[in-house]
Structure 1
């Protein structure tokens, strides 16, 4: 089955909103209202960062089937940029159709074309399907890092 992957533009706001709503449910979060998700998608794809795309969308027969949310981080100790894959999500009805592999291939191609040396990502330890998928791709598990988060009160308390 042919999968078309492209960087999302403002014209893709509705498709992105659909994916965000389905992702919230999949990742065990409170459901998102479509209008709220659409408003955020329009902001992110329109005014917030027009110079660099943050979302790749995959389409199967013209219908959105998956998304990758990414950020480019500049050099660390190895002086090589990396693409951080924040989220890779494939809708239930598009699973096992090559959507995830097409998204990763699209991102890998972008990295090769732009001199980006690696893709880093995380996944939940309970997400066995994702772990198997990344294993099949040959992703290496790196246990030397601990994933941490500042949010809520800790974020408010982190003042200069």
Structure 2
């Protein structure tokens, strides 16, 4: 059976919430409350610009099976926009069904049709399956960047110092 991939709309809030809850467990985070995830999904899908969709959902056998969360960034040094793939997640029951490949193919098609020059992404160093998946797709590993994060108290300190 084919994998159907589309940009999420407000009608997909429940599907998005389901994926978000499963992602939290996979990424070793505390479990999310489904109602809280549903509220966030409704908000995000209702507020996002249709010019820059942010969530692609994959459906296999009629069930939500995967998610790609993306952002479009404007010109880098090469004056081309880029897509940043924040998360790619496939539910356990849909592994090895082509869901991840279908999501990446959907994103690649969007990039090519919209003049977006590349997809940048990160993955955890412990996520061997993801590293193998991206290598099979031809993703190049770049070691020239270091992933950093400002959150929580660091954000407050930056604000206080500015």
Give the TM-score category using the shorter length: over 0.9
Q: Which residue of 2 aligns with 1:79?
A: 79
Give the paired residue count.
160
Matched, 1:134 2:134: yes
Q: Which residue of 1 aligns with 2:64?
A: 64
Cα displacement string for residues 110-142 of structure 1 (whole angstroms, at most 9, x for unaligned residues): 000000000000000000000000000000000
CA positional deviation for 1:103: 0.1
Are the counterparts in 1 of residues 65 and 90 from structure 2 also a CA contact under 8 Å?
A: yes
Distance 1:128 1:51 in 2: 34
Cα displacement string for residues 79-134 of structure 1 (whole angstroms, at most 9, x for unaligned residues): 11100000000000000000000000000000000000000000000000000000
1:80-159 equivalent positions in 2, closer than 5 A = 80-159=80-159
Distance 2:67 2:113 in 1: 20
**Counterpart of 1:103 in 2: which secondary structure?**
helix
Q: CA RMSD in A?
A: 0.9
Tell me, which stretches of 5 or more residues in structure 1 are unaligned? none
Query: Could you tell me the TM-score, scaled by structure 1's length?
Result: 0.98
Query: Could you tell me the TM-score, scaled by structure 2's length?
Result: 0.96
Q: Which residue of 2 aligns with 1:37?
A: 37
Q: Which residue of 2 aligns with 1:23?
A: 23
Are the counterparts in 1 of residues 66 and 90 from structure 2 also a CA contact under 8 Å?
A: yes
**Counterpart of 2:139 in 1: which secondary structure?**
coil
Distance 2:158 2:102 in 1: 39
Q: Which residue of 1 aligns with 2:7?
A: 7
Tell me, which stretches of 5 or more residues in structure 2 are unaligned? none
